[in-house]
Structure 1
Amino acid sequence: MSHSIEAPPPDGTIASAIATLEKLISFPSVSATSNVDINDWCAATLAQMGFTLWRSGYRDGRGVRKANLVAVRNPAGTEQHEPSADRSAAASSHQGLAYFCHTDVVPAKKWVGAPAPSYRCADEAAAGPFAAVVTEDRVYGRGACDMKGSLAAMLSAVARVDVRQQTAPIWIVCTADEEVGFSGAKHLVDHCDGYRELVRADPVSVIGEPTEMNVVYAHKGIQGFTVHSRGRAGHSATNFGINANEAMVPMLVKLLELCQRTRDDAGLQDDRFDPPVLSWNFGVSDHSNVVNITPERSDAWVSFRTMPEVDAAELVAEAEATARRLGLTLTPIAGCDPLWTDPDSEIVSQFQSIAGTQSQTVCYATDGGVLGELSRRIVIGPGSIAQAHTVDEWIAIDQLSRGIDCYEKALRHWCTPVAQAVA
């Protein structure tokens, strides 16, 4: 027996949250494809729950349509229809809480899914990465953990809070392309009027990535660059060709030297993270598959993870100087900044009390690294990063339940007059 993927607006129960998650999983919103359909469903659901919506869209580098969504539910009696300066002023004085998620997922080409004996699927043959499978204690499906389960939990938490109890706004933001360079969040920051309103309100901001409900107050950023060498193709038995690898080899020697420096130089490390280094990573390809043609191009890439008080600007400058000397082209790759909130701040301690968990740093990056205009950002969500991006991705139903409870308490703490009593 399986749950229907047709889900009405959440009513706050765990059964309703599972139904919502099944529906969200049913959208094959891999980053290479469009996320417009899932964002449209989220928009319709939020509208039914009393939210005002702003939509922003763009086409990615391959011309695929992408969608972002900002939604706000103001306290009862506050105008909900047209954004206005007056409403922005009201939001600023009652900052509320904002929740951020992404609706894209990673590919699932080698999907394995739930163990066969545990299937509760009406049509086992149809089961796949976008057909959720519910067992006694888990929900399987691409995005179940990263991060559609988190969104289902927040929608259920909102359903538990009567708008008539609200004294501050509740914001929900859905972005595209988090998995492929945070393009959706970057577009949102630059082009969405609703996000400008949110920034003026500066609410407590929750990025709902899977943390097992631990409170993440800091994460690394990510940056990088590519290096390109151009030669000339020719028969390898002649002198006509120019091997592009010959100029790349000394460049690779430099990249290796810089990599070793990040491991040895204490000034480029931060012990608050594990590992405490920039995680300098690089690779190279000459795109050749035969031995009798001189390679005409050779391309290298570098990726590294910056920390709040450690960046790699001096290393990149050295790499640029070496590339110029060798006649190579170096092109930066934009990623995102680190996220940092003081671990001794009130928001971190309050979320620790609400969630009953510990605070920590992580080494992966989130959309939160793009949202630097917001002053109180943390990452907290149900599920474990160990289950994200796997061939049998799943979220524990217990984690989903804990997520609903934690988000509800947070909403009541920051958006209603009744602060939650916490143990």
Structure 2
Amino acid sequence: MTRLPPESDPVAILQQLVRIDSVNPDLVPGAAGEVEIAAWCGEWLVARGFEVTVLEHIPGRPSVVGVKQGTGTGRSLMLNAHLDTVGVATYAANPFSGELRDGRVYGRGAVDTKSGLAAILVAAARASALGLAGDVIVTLVADEEFGSIGTEEVLRTLSADAALVIEPSSLELTTAHRGFAWFELELTGLAAHGSQPELGVDAIWHAGLALAALDGLRQRLNAEPAHATLGHGAVRVSKIVGGDDAATVAARCVLTVERRMLPGQPPDRVEAELRALFTAVAVGEPQFQFTLTRLVGRAAFEAEPHWPIVRALTANTERVLARPAATRGEPFWTDAGLILQAGIACVVFGADGEGLHADTEWADAQSVRALADILEGTITDFCGLAAD
């Protein structure tokens, strides 16, 4: 294994992590996955006195948990970041170079979110070396880019008083993000010869009715009061498959529907709304037969400004950056949705950079060092020093 870099410089660690291929195999069949990078991070934590456990319910998809126990008189804090990256097929240069050039570290995952991994490792080691009252729980998880199996596995066995989810945010506090749900709408018709369509039931024609109903829902969502940072919810059709040939009335058509939700709009409610929407279509068109199946559903996330973890992160951001802390909302989903659903107060925060999922990706080196400093102070303030 490559020699581990000094723990004092998160940028050096980031460079090493970028050089490890950890493309998610659920996104790219046969890709490397998290095995090597999980081993590297686990070894790093063990060398600094953390009790390390590898969770691997699905073989070949490990997540690393490193715990440094405090005296038991303070609050526990979970630090969460993902080990996996998206693919590199269209990457413009060497996706695993880890090159530091003009103050930027380049490569796949540099900002999303190996910058977060590096900052967590450094901050957790520095803070725990001071002697903390509360436990530091480092969770470096598999599969965030696809199914979040890593964070789900962590939450089956671990909890904490609060959590920081490290995702790129330009050193701004992400205090809200949308949820999402994907549905499959299957429309069942009756095949007939194209010369006599009246003898059949055209599932593709019925797809048009479904699209019109969804457009009505879209208009209603846009007419509702906007969330302060997230705007409006959204609905769209991402895929349509139907028909057998040009001369046959389609007996089947399947639409994939995506719904993006605001806080307070759980997946169960969204599914019920869609089911009612298509039931209303069937009332107007009795031959409209549908089956609605939820493929996945993830609740939205929203932090409260009075939470102690939000206050601690805000104070340390302002201390390190010497300016007021900024907050933001994101249209996309993160594992913070799962963590909050598990009853753990959390906030999303991370480094600055560009190129998430793009053909060139980089992280700003100065922001990575600032991130480590902010996390160290937040850990210390939230968990408390043993002497306190």
Class of the TM-score when normalised by the shorter of the 2 chains: 0.7 to 0.9
Separation in structure 1 between the aligned mates of residue 194 and residue 128 of structure 2, nearest angstrom: 74
Which residue is 2:207 aligned to? 248
Which residue is 2:377 aligned to? 409
Among all aligned residue pairs of Structure 1 and Structure 2, give the percentage whose two residues are the same amino acid: 22
Separation in structure 1 between the aligned mates of residue 327 and residue 130 of structure 2, nearest angstrom: 33
Greater displacement, 355-364 / 99-108? 355-364
Which residue is 2:110 aligned to? 144
The residue type paired with residue 174 of structure 1 is L
Which residue is 2:252 aligned to? 297
Alignment of 1:209-248 (within 5 A): 209-231=167-189, 236=194, 243-248=202-207
From the superposition, tell whether residues 56 and 418 of structure 1 become closer, same or farther in structure 2 (CA, over 3 Å): closer
Q: CA deviation at 1:327?
A: 1.1
Conserved? CA contact 1:10–1:20, under 8 Å: no
CA deviation vs aligned residue, 1:336-376 (integer Å, no higher than 9, x gap): 21222212444323212201222233222110101123432
Greater displacement, 131-140 / 15-24? 15-24
Q: CA deviation at 1:111?
A: 1.1
From the superposition, tell whether residues 231 and 40 of structure 1 become closer, same or farther in structure 2 (CA, over 3 Å): farther
Alignment of 1:145-160 (within 5 A): 145-160=111-126
Conserved? CA contact 1:16–1:156, under 8 Å: no
Conserved? CA contact 2:123–2:372, under 8 Å: yes
Q: CA deviation at 1:67?
A: 2.3
1:393 aligns with 2:361: yes
Unaligned runs of 5+ residues in structure 1 are 79-89, 114-126
From the superposition, tell whether residues 237 and 44 of structure 1 become closer, same or farther in structure 2 (CA, over 3 Å): farther
The residue type paired with residue 223 of structure 2 is D
Q: CA deviation at 1:381?
A: 0.9
Conserved? CA contact 1:230–1:244, under 8 Å: yes
Which residue is 1:74 aligned to? 69
Alignment of 1:18-417 (within 5 A): 18-24=14-20, 26-32=21-27, 33=31, 34-59=33-58, 65-75=60-70, 90=72, 93-113=73-93, 127=94, 129-161=95-127, 163=129, 165-190=131-156, 193=157, 195=158, 199=159, 202-231=160-189, 236=194, 243-266=202-225, 269-270=226-227, 272-274=228-230, 276-286=231-241, 291-292=246-247, 294-310=249-265, 313=270, 315-322=273-280, 326-356=288-318, 357-371=325-339, 372-384=341-353, 386-417=354-385
Conserved? CA contact 1:227–1:323, under 8 Å: no
What's the TM-score once normalised by structure 1's chain length? 0.77
The residue type paired with residue 397 of structure 1 is A
Separation in structure 2 between the aligned mates of residue 393 and residue 287 of structure 1, nearest angstrom: 38
From the superposition, tell whether residues 289 and 105 of structure 1 become closer, same or farther in structure 2 (CA, over 3 Å): farther
The residue type paired with residue 152 of structure 1 is A
Q: CA deviation at 1:301?
A: 2.0
The alignment's C-alpha RMSD in Å is 2.9
Q: CA deviation at 1:44?
A: 2.4
The residue type paired with residue 301 of structure 1 is T
SS state of the match for residue 349, structure 1?
A: helix
From the superposition, tell whether residues 105 and 51 of structure 1 become closer, same or farther in structure 2 (CA, over 3 Å): same
Unaligned runs of 5+ residues in structure 2 are 319-324
From the superposition, tell whether residues 261 and 350 of structure 1 become closer, same or farther in structure 2 (CA, over 3 Å): same
Q: CA deviation at 1:171?
A: 0.8
SS state of the match for residue 164, structure 2?
A: strand
CA deviation vs aligned residue, 1:51-91 (integer Å, no higher than 9, x gap): 223333244xxxx742223221113xx7xxxxxxxxxxx4x
CA deviation vs aligned residue, 1:128-165 (integer Å, no higher than 9, x gap): x2333321311111111111111011112233335362
The residue type paired with residue 100 of structure 1 is N
What's the TM-score once normalised by structure 2's chain length? 0.83
Conserved? CA contact 2:115–2:368, under 8 Å: yes
From the superposition, tell whether residues 289 and 160 of structure 1 become closer, same or farther in structure 2 (CA, over 3 Å): farther
Separation in structure 2 between the aligned mates of residue 41 and residue 188 of structure 1, nearest angstrom: 19
The residue type paired with residue 250 of structure 1 is L
Separation in structure 1 between the aligned mates of residue 128 and residue 209 of structure 2, nearest angstrom: 64
From the superposition, tell whether residues 22 and 65 of structure 1 become closer, same or farther in structure 2 (CA, over 3 Å): closer
From the superposition, tell whether residues 40 and 234 of structure 1 become closer, same or farther in structure 2 (CA, over 3 Å): farther
Separation in structure 2 between the aligned mates of residue 131 and residue 377 of structure 1, nearest angstrom: 33
Count of residue pairs the alignment pairs up? 368
From the superposition, tell whether residues 17 and 68 of structure 1 become closer, same or farther in structure 2 (CA, over 3 Å): closer
Greater displacement, 44-53 / 236-245? 236-245
Conserved? CA contact 2:16–2:98, under 8 Å: no
The residue type paired with residue 160 of structure 1 is R
Separation in structure 2 between the aligned mates of residue 293 and residue 184 of structure 1, nearest angstrom: 46
Conserved? CA contact 2:64–2:141, under 8 Å: yes
Q: CA deviation at 1:324?
A: 6.2
Separation in structure 2 between the aligned mates of residue 162 and residue 183 of structure 1, nearest angstrom: 28
Separation in structure 1 between the aligned mates of residue 357 and residue 7 of structure 2, nearest angstrom: 29
From the superposition, tell whether residues 159 and 284 of structure 1 become closer, same or farther in structure 2 (CA, over 3 Å): closer
Conserved? CA contact 2:171–2:350, under 8 Å: yes
